[in-house]
Chains A and B, each alone.
Chain A
Amino acid sequence: MNLPLEEALQQQSNKQQLQYEAYKSRKRSLLYNRYFILGILAILIIWSWVGTKFHIMDLFSGFSNMAIFIFQDLLPPDFTTIPSFVGPILETLYMSYVGLLFSVTFSLFFGLMAAKNTTVHPAVAIVSRSFIAFLRSIPAMVWGILLVAAIGLGPLAGTLALGLSGIGILGKAFADLLEEIDENQVNAVRATGANWYQVIGQAVWPQFKPGFVGWSLYKMDLNIREASVLGVVGAGGIGFALEGSISLFQYQQASVGILAIFALILVVEFITAKLREKII
């Protein structure tokens, strides 16, 4: 009678030992992975630190110089220069808005083509995805530089730059949204004998709408930020006036420009937040 009990105990303790080994090996593999990633990060950081000749004192001198600069030169803002910024601020707003509508329109097309479930052909989907990815990986500022070279200085170049980089962001977002649409709901509506328009209107659009509105408004927020600096390369908007006053050492005028950008961003974000609430 004793033997089976001992055997069972032996088995039990073997199993315990095995489970402990499993614990150890899992923990070890997680640790190795963590060291691997931390090692790569450390190498990247050291490489960048040396490569940019960064010095820890730069942080201190940078921020203290910045503080001195802000309080001695930027402040107080010279509010008499406000009128000179009204035109550029409005231009920034117009550029963002037209650029947004441009990118929404084309993103709908490319999004439909890029989504696996709505495309006309899988090859078209791949091509559209790549095109969208290409547009996305080039910043709006670079598009601005290229377009200024192509069509000359002015807000048209900036507007198109916002539109193109917008397709990169919204095209991907719309395609992903379309791919996530629940086919069962679509089929359920289709089963009632609805035609194509009814299927789109009753089954596809309600699922697509919240993401569509959310992403488009988000892109409007981004556009304002982008548009306010595109002027630096001559692609229209307030950036041009702002850089002008900085290069002429008119810092108290520049600070009005910065405040104007700040105000514009806040106002637009407030409006888009309200619209988001109202529409979704």
Chain B
Amino acid sequence: MTDIFLETRNLKKVYPDGTEALKNITLTFNKGELVSIIGPSGAGKSTFLRSINRLNQPSSGEVIFQNEQITNVKGKKLLLVRRQIGMIFQDFNLIKRSTTVRNVLHGRLGYMSSLKGAFGRFSEEDVKEALAILRRVGLEDHAFKRADELSGGQQQRVGIARAIAQKPALILADEPIASLDPSSSSNVMNYLKTISEEDGITTIVNLHQVDVAKRFASRIIGIKAGEVVFDGKPNELTEQRINEIYDQRGLVNELTS
């Protein structure tokens, strides 16, 4: 648990309109841990995740992933980095008109030649693997349905399946349960936790539900206005610290009750 797996140094992001989304974020993550990032909306949680797989280009600072500087990698190299990092989104972001299994197969795009992937010529092993992953998230009977025919919770499980298909070393989940009802939420979180533990995948989950974070994460990071204000074990996150993160007593009561 001592080798550093992912590290950010003085990460900064200023948007073109002048908003300072991240201010000097310096964090380290270990192999296999499930970390939850909490904080009010607009605190910069999403920007932080998207800076790691470079869907957002950080303004300054460094991202070191498996002992490699990836802050400025470009082109082919960037694609190789991205394929090792699975991402799960709040709104699932599936290709709605494509089938479930096709959406999972999209996780293999980074491993294929550009043209083969473009025309969807997936290999037999990839297809079998994708079907096996769908079985793992309990969706084998929905493999050939169009993605938009599934319920929200099921769609998010397809999102997880797509991330696993990448055989990632790291999974980033950006508010994965914000659009789901409570029972689907804990179902999805259970899958994330199981996969993180069984496959030893480091998982970083943005959440705004503090209770969920406490229940599932092995470590919690609090971000407020682009700065880290808490970093510790779930049991160290006291009522008072939560208040500090959210800075709003009423909201916290609402969230923890």
B144 near A16 with CB under 8 A, answer no
Complex contacts, B144 vs chain A, CB 8 Å: 22-23, 26
Complex contacts, B131 vs chain A, CB 8 Å: 16, 19-20, 23
Complex contacts, A20 vs chain B, CB 8 Å: 124, 127-128, 131
Complex contacts, A23 vs chain B, CB 8 Å: 101, 127, 131, 143-144
A19 to B144, CA, bound (A): 10
Complex contacts, A19 vs chain B, CB 8 Å: 131, 140, 143
A22 to B145, CA, bound (A): 13
Interface residue? B70 (CB, 8 A): no
A65 to B254, CA, bound (A): 72
A22 to B124, CA, bound (A): 12
Interface residues of A in 9-37 (CB under 8 A from B): 16, 19-20, 22-23, 26
Interface residues of B in 187-241 (CB under 8 A from A): none
Complex contacts, B127 vs chain A, CB 8 Å: 20, 23
A26 to B145, CA, bound (A): 11
Tally chain A residues at the interface, Cβ within 8 Å.
6
Complex contacts, B132 vs chain A, CB 8 Å: 16
Main SS at interface, chain B: helix
Chain B proximity of A118: nearest CB distance (Å) = 35
Main SS at interface, chain A: helix
A16 to B140, CA, bound (A): 10
Complex contacts, B128 vs chain A, CB 8 Å: 16, 20
A20 to B132, CA, bound (A): 10
A23 to B122, CA, bound (A): 11
B10-23 vs A, CB cutoff 8 Å, 1 = contact: the mask equals: 00000000000000
Chain A proximity of B202: nearest CB distance (Å) = 29
B132-149 vs A, CB cutoff 8 Å, 1 = contact: the mask equals: 100000001001100000
Complex contacts, A22 vs chain B, CB 8 Å: 144
A19 to B140, CA, bound (A): 9
Complex contacts, A16 vs chain B, CB 8 Å: 128, 131-132
**Nearest chain B residue, comparing its CB with the CB of A23:** B127
Chain B proximity of A222: nearest CB distance (Å) = 32
Chain A proximity of B117: nearest CB distance (Å) = 15
Chain A proximity of B30: nearest CB distance (Å) = 34
**Nearest chain B residue, comparing its CB with the CB of A19:** B131
Interface residues of B in 75-131 (CB under 8 A from A): 101, 124, 127-128, 131
A20 to B105, CA, bound (A): 13
A145 to B143, CA, bound (A): 58
**Nearest chain B residue, comparing its CB with the CB of A13:** B128
A176 to B124, CA, bound (A): 48
Q: Which of A16, A19, A22, A26 has the most CB of B within 10 A?
A: A19
A23 to B143, CA, bound (A): 9
Chain B proximity of A81: nearest CB distance (Å) = 52
A26 to B128, CA, bound (A): 15
**Nearest chain B residue, comparing its CB with the CB of A17:** B128
Chain A proximity of B177: nearest CB distance (Å) = 29
Chain A proximity of B104: nearest CB distance (Å) = 11
A20 to B134, CA, bound (A): 12
**Nearest chain A residue, comparing its CB with the CB of B134:** A19
A22 to B143, CA, bound (A): 10
Complex contacts, A26 vs chain B, CB 8 Å: 144
Chain A proximity of B243: nearest CB distance (Å) = 49
A38-63 vs B, CB cutoff 8 Å, 1 = contact: the mask equals: 00000000000000000000000000
Chain A proximity of B227: nearest CB distance (Å) = 48
A255 to B128, CA, bound (A): 65
**Nearest chain B residue, comparing its CB with the CB of A27:** B120
A134 to B2, CA, bound (A): 80
A26 to B124, CA, bound (A): 14
A146 to B121, CA, bound (A): 56
A200 to B113, CA, bound (A): 63
Complex contacts, B101 vs chain A, CB 8 Å: 23
B39-64 vs A, CB cutoff 8 Å, 1 = contact: the mask equals: 00000000000000000000000000
A23 to B144, CA, bound (A): 8
Chain A proximity of B131: nearest CB distance (Å) = 5
A23 to B105, CA, bound (A): 12
A26 to B144, CA, bound (A): 9
17 A-B Cβ contacts within 8 A? Answer: A16-B128, A16-B131, A16-B132, A19-B131, A19-B140, A19-B143, A20-B124, A20-B127, A20-B128, A20-B131, A22-B144, A23-B101, A23-B127, A23-B131, A23-B143, A23-B144, A26-B144
Q: Which 10 A-B pairs have the closest CB atoms?
A: A19-B131, A20-B128, A23-B127, A20-B127, A26-B144, A16-B128, A23-B101, A16-B131, A20-B131, A19-B143
Query: B-side interface residues toward A, CB under 8 Å?
Result: 101, 124, 127-128, 131-132, 140, 143-144
Given contacts A20-B128, A22-B144, 11 further A-B contacts (CB under 8 A): A16-B131, A16-B132, A19-B131, A19-B143, A20-B124, A20-B127, A20-B131, A23-B101, A23-B127, A23-B144, A26-B144
